[in-house]
Amino acid sequence: MIAASVIMPKGKYSPVLSIGTDAKPRCAIYARYSSDMQRAASIDDQIRQCKEKAGSKGWLVLEEHIYKDAAISGASVIGRSGLAKLLEAAQQRPRPFDCVLIDDTSRFGRHLPQTLAMTEQLEYLGVFLYFVTLDLDTRAASSRTIHTVTGLMDEQYVKSLSEKVHRGQRGRFLNKCNPSGRCYGYRNVPILHPSKIMEYGRPAVIGVEQRVLEEEAKIVRRIFEMYSTGSSFTKIAKKLNAEGVLSPQPSRTRKIRAWHMSGVRDVLFNVRYRGIARWNRLQTLRNPYTGKREQALRPEKDWECIENGQLRIVSDELWDKAHEQNKRAREKLGFKRLGGINRAQQVYLFGGLLECGVCGTNMTIISGSRKYARYGCPNHRFRAVCSNALTIRYSRLEAQLIEAIAKKLANPQMKEMISRNFDEQLRNLLLEEQAHLETIEEERSQLTSERSNLQRQAENVIKAISQHGLSDSLSAQLRITESKLQQLEKHLEKPARPLKLSFAEDEIQLFVEQEATDFSEALAGDRLLARQELQKRISKLILTPSTEDGGVFEVSGDVRLFVGADGGMQSNSLEICSALHSF
């Protein structure tokens, strides 16, 4: 059996440390601004500043290595594609640049642990940073201390700005202005300062007032009336969509703008429609794992409410009638709980992997429970804006799809094709690794020379300490030099012998057989593990109703057989083109 560690190199390049030479540094540039409210020209201003500084120092700026991130916060590195490309380029060999010019430490980032870690990574790769505004060179002994201080200030700026915005929003709220965004049923009207004029001759805006938009207010009252008379959330949504009533602005992830049961429910539970303004119910937090901003509910004691009769759309009588109906519906249809615990969560093997072939939305469980749960298109079921009315019981779908995958895995012709493709990719990987190791061998002479320079630097520092005594700067310089020398010694200790591996055809076939067997066993075993395997190997399966047979889904997509730890060797896939019978 072929070991995955043999055919999957952990990294394309090993880091190579390069200490300064007499040659002019070759410079990349990184620029960023954080908000779409800022001027896009800020990027150009930063680049110009960096180029001017490089010119005054006689450094060379490489136009092909100018990286940008526009309208992206510096509070996290996630989502900053320009920074990711910069870090990726720095790992190339030979190294394409020696320095990264950045206008200010805040442009590099506003989260100190991440910025210091990236600085160390680049330093290890032989790339130093130069912050133009501060005239700060990370090669200097005191640079880390200065960078830490300025980084703390950059980080604190974000927190302080957030607190000031929150304080300002509360002030607007207490003055009966709108501190947040839009709300269905109202239009936002700016309140202008009577005398203060801003740039371009525009009056200053001192607040935003919400006024009832009667066209949408009628729809709000109608929703309350329909629900009060017994119509469900879904029935109301379908009726509004059928009549072409425009829904509130949808989320970015929704492909179709239409009413949904959740949107109807949000209308029915929005206290603003009864003339009560509520603030501070939600807070925005940044997820440290994804870098995305998420909303979380604050403790109820922190909520603030004030009455504002100008916002009223629904009478107290109609509000009470609708919520009495909601109470009756919950008592009749709500989940039955035992000991405060709801029913156990069902594991669906293909959850999140199925797509409607008509409208492109994700297919979900739309009816039934446990073994009777059925997949279908939510745009048809809850919004009536898609023609795909076909549903299929989840157990039937899973059984037929797993059977189709198993047949593909057992097909001798399919195995032979996968073996050929796998053998070709394996040989290409080995050739690439061999070429890389040969390149490293050519660089060893350069690394040996750099080691001699480092040793001389260390000897000079030790000599200076013996003559003038130990100082903070000399101590720091010696520590940095010894650290770099140690890293270089470790790198030179690694052998750079080209790999000489070959695999017989029967070994390749045996490996493919084993992978197919392991995958089949995983699908037939524990449901949670089977789901994990499918999530790794499938990007999307498209289910389209057959035009010939009324109760049949035509399925298209593919399943990857090989999934490496680093995402490699994924092109060997089983094309799934099958038919699912829904009944």
Of 333, 368, 386, which residue constitutes the final position of a domain?
333
Q: Is the residue at 257 inside a domain?
A: yes
Q: Are residues 59 and 149 in the same domain?
A: yes
pTM tops 0.85, yes or no: no
| Separation CA 229–CA 222 (nearest Å) | 11
Q: Are residues 27 and 153 in the same domain?
A: yes
Of 124, 159, 194, which residue constitutes the final position of a domain?
159
Ramachandran bin of 44, using left for φ above 0, alpha for ψ from -120 to 50, beta for the remaining angles = alpha
Q: Is the residue at 360 inside a domain?
A: no
Buried b / exposed e along 446-465 (16+ C-beta atoms within 10 A): ebeebbeebeebbeebeebe
Residue 49, pLDDT score: 93
Q: Is the residue at 383 inside a domain?
A: no
Q: Are residues 22 and 153 in the same domain?
A: yes
pLDDT in tens, 232-278: 898 999 999 999 998 887 766 666 788 988 899 999 999 999 999 99
Task: Work out how many domains the chain is built from and give that number.
Answer: 2
* Residues paired with residue 285 on neighbouring β-strands, in sequence order: 294
Of 281, 302, 333, which residue constitutes the final position of a domain?
333
**Residue at 136: amino acid letter:** L
**Residue 260 is part of a domain; what is its CATH number?**
3.90.1750
Q: Is the residue at 183 inside a domain?
A: no
Q: Are residues 20 and 108 in the same domain?
A: yes
Q: Are residues 44 and 128 in the same domain?
A: yes
Q: Is the residue at 502 inside a domain?
A: no
Q: Are residues 112 and 36 in the same domain?
A: yes
Q: Is the residue at 342 inside a domain?
A: no
Long-range Cβ contacts of 377-384 (<8 Å, 24+ apart): 378/260, 379/256, 379/258, 381/234, 382/234, 382/237, 382/238, 382/260, 382/261, 383/237, 383/238, 383/241, 383/256, 383/258, 383/259, 383/260, 384/237, 384/238, 384/241, 384/242
Residue 14, pLDDT score: 39
The domain in which residue 271 lies consists of 211-333
Q: Are residues 21 and 134 in the same domain?
A: yes
Residue 555, pLDDT score: 86
Q: Is the residue at 381 inside a domain?
A: no
The pLDDT tens digits along the chain (583 residues) read 333 322 333 344 434 334 344 578 999 999 998 864 455 568 999 999 999 999 999 999 999 999 999 888 888 888 889 999 999 999 998 899 999 999 999 999 988 888 999 999 999 999 999 999 999 999 998 888 888 888 888 888 888 888 888 888 888 888 888 888 889 999 999 988 888 888 778 888 888 899 999 999 999 999 999 999 988 898 999 999 999 998 887 766 666 788 988 899 999 999 999 999 999 998 888 777 776 778 889 999 999 999 999 999 999 999 999 999 988 888 766 544 444 444 446 788 888 889 999 998 899 998 887 778 899 999 888 888 899 999 988 888 888 888 887 777 777 776 677 667 666 666 776 676 666 666 656 666 666 777 777 777 777 777 777 777 766 666 767 777 777 777 667 666 655 555 555 566 676 667 767 777 777 777 777 888 888 888 877 888 888 888 776 678 888 887 776 554 444 334 445 555 656 665 5
Query: Among candidates 68, 55, 67, which has minimal Cα distance to 25?
Result: 55
Q: Are residues 231 and 132 in the same domain?
A: no
Residue 442, pLDDT score: 62
Q: Is the residue at 185 inside a domain?
A: no
| Separation CA 333–CA 340 (nearest Å) | 17
Q: Are residues 20 and 136 in the same domain?
A: yes
HEC states along 236-303? Answer: HHHHHHHCCCCCCCCCCCCCCCCCCHHHHHHHHCCHHHHCEEEECCEEEEECCCCCCEEEEECCHHHC
Q: Are residues 139 and 218 in the same domain?
A: no
**Residue 70 is part of a domain; what is its CATH number?**
3.40.50.1390
Q: In angstroms, what CA-CA distances link 32 with 105, 144, 285, 365, 432?
A: 11, 22, 22, 43, 35
Q: Are residues 240 and 142 in the same domain?
A: no
Q: Are residues 24 and 154 in the same domain?
A: yes
Residue 27, pLDDT score: 96
Computed from CA positions of residues 411, 417, 418, 419, in that sequence, does the dihedral angle turn out positive or negative? Answer: positive
